Amino acid sequence: MDKNLPGDSTPPRPKWRKVAYGGMQIGYDDNYTDETFLEEMVMNANVVRRDLLKAMKDSVSISQYLSIVALVVLVWFHTLESSLDEHSLLLLDLSLLALGFLVLLLTEEKMLSFTLLCRYLVNITFFTTGLYILAPVYQTLTRSISSDSIWAVTVCLLLLHLFLHDYSGSTIRAPGALLKSPSLTSCISVNASIVASVFVASRLPSRGHVFAVMLFSLQVFLFAPLVAYCIKKFSVGLHLGFSFALMGLTMYSVYVLHRLFFVLFLVLVVVVNVVCPYWLIRMQEYKFEINGPWDEAKLCFDITD
């Protein structure tokens, strides 16, 4: 600026100040915009840069659970087709229970005490007995409703279950784990899956079938997320291996059942594990955050105490 050079006829005007008092500043209109305008604006200050590999790794949890649900549906299908009898189903239930229990035991940091073990056994006994007594009720629950409606509702409930499922944690907590109340959506999700199991069980021919299928579904829907969560917490490598094994098993079983379903499932897994993470990373560059002195101040202490 050459306004202060000697010989300049206009007197040097006072420096503009960013103040509101004292009326209109001499030499400056009210719409004067200084170079300091928007100087304090900060862009994208809190943006977290994500990388593709991590996003893909995290998405494995989702496809793992998709496989689990697909396997449950396969078991339902085979039971309804009578290609799985109730004895092998009960055997499956027992082995799953034992396996799950073993995983919990092995991944737990502290050793289980004898009393806790007894409590587990008592709980399981109560649970199975209750289910066995209620089996006849489940069997006749929806007799007056047509099968088509039941299938339609079951599919909807399963979709709701998948949509609201808590993929990052587990709705059911291990005993002694830090109690953080599960969110409403994950509770709705668990309930949707249980209702879907009851509906499917009510189409089965015998009381034994109903009991076996109900036990199986409840075991998987309630405890599979917990087991998967424990494995993931224990070791990420094991988690990935377990997930890929499950996905492989599911793909094989679906392939045997129907080609079209296999293709659909494959596409779904690819979308979840590759396309969506890539898309997320691509969209990061459109992130545009503006902060400045006009933002509401955040309190640096907890106000709920």
Partner 1 sequence: MAEPKLRVLMVSDFFFPNFGGVENHIYYLSQCLLKLGHKVVVMTHAYGNRTGVRYMTGGLKVYYVPWRPFAMQNTFPTVYGTLPIVRTILIRERITVVHGHQAFSTLCHEALMHARTMGYRVVFTDHSLYGFADVGSIHMNKVLQFSLADIDQAICVSHTSKENTVLRSGLPPAKVFMIPNAVDTAMFRPADVRPSADVVITIVVISRLVYRKGADLLVEVIPEVCRLYPNVRFVVGGDGPKHVRLEEMREKHSLQDRVEMLGAVPHSRVRSVLVTGHIFLNSSLTEAFCIAILEAASCGLLTVSTRVGGVPEVLPDDMVVLAEPDPDDMVRAIEKAISILPSINPEEMHNRMKKLYSWQDVAKRTEIVYDRALKCSNRNLLERLSRFLSCGAWAGKVFCMVMIIDYLLWRLLQLLQPDDDIEEAPDINFLH
CA distance 141 to 219: 21
Residue 174 φ/ψ, nearest 5 degrees:
-70, 145
Stretch that binds partner 1, among 89-97, 218-226, 269-277, 290-298 (CB under 8 A): 290-298
Binds partner 1 by CB under 8 A, chosen from 35, 109, 285, 295 = 295
Q: Which residues contact 21 (CB under 8 A, 6 or more apart)?
A: none
> Residue 297, interface with partner 1 (CB under 8 A)?
yes
Pick one of 6, 24, 102, 113: the residue that binds partner 1 (CB under 8 A): 24
Binding partner 1 (rule: CB under 8 A), the pick from 22, 115, 143, 260 is 22
CB 13 within 8 A of CB 3: yes
The DSSP call for residue 205 is S
Neighbouring-strand partners of residue 290: 43
The DSSP result for 36-49, as a single string, is: TTTTT-EESSSPPP
Question: Does the protein bind partner 1 through residue 44 (CB under 8 A)?
Answer: no
- Dihedrals φ, ψ of 42, to 5°? -120, 130
Nearer to partner 1, 45 or 260 (CB): 45
Site mask for partner 1 (CB under 8 A), range 64-83, x = bound: --------------------
Q: By CB under 8 A, name the one of 21, 109, 285, 286 that touches partner 1.
A: 21
Distances (CA, A) of 269 to 181, 243, 265: 30, 12, 6
> Which of 38, 238, 267, 275 is the binder for partner 1 (CB under 8 A)?
38
Nearer to partner 1, 22 or 237 (CB): 22
Beta carbon nearer to partner 1, 179 or 299 = 299
Q: For residue 286, state whether it binds partner 1 (rule: CB under 8 A).
A: no
Exactly one of 8, 13, 14, 33 binds partner 1 (CB under 8 A); which one? 33
Binder among 18, 110, 143, 180 for partner 1 (CB under 8 A): 18
Task: Specify the residue, 1 or 300, whose C-beta has the smaller distance to partner 1.
Answer: 300
Which of 14, 37, 140, 176 forms a contact with partner 1 (CB under 8 A)? 37
Strands (E), the chain: 42-43, 290-291
Decide: 218 and 194 in contact? Cβ < 8 Å.
yes
Shortest Cβ distance from residue 185 to partner 1 (Å)? Answer: 19
What is the C-alpha separation between 231 and 239, in angstroms, rounded? 6
Six token digits for residue 172: 């059911």
Binding status of residue 184 toward partner 1 by CB under 8 A: no
* Binding range to partner 1, per CB under 8 A, among 54-62, 100-108, 133-141, 287-295: 287-295
Distance (Å, rounded) from C-alpha 222 to C-alpha 232? 17
8 Å CB contact between 232 and 225: no
Q: Which of 20, 45, 48, 283 binds partner 1 (CB under 8 A)?
A: 20
Helix axes of 147-164 and 52-80: crossing angle, nearest 10 degrees: 160
Give the number of residues in contact with partner 1, rule: CB under 8 A.
Answer: 29
Task: Centre a 10 Å sphere on the Cβ of residue 37 and count the other Cβ atoms it contains.
Answer: 10
Q: How far is the CB of 26 from partner 1 (least distance, A)?
A: 13
- Which is nearer to partner 1, 7 or 293 (by Cβ)? 293
Query: Which residues lie near partner 1 (CB under 8 A)?
Result: 18-24, 29-31, 33, 37-38, 40-41, 289-301, 303
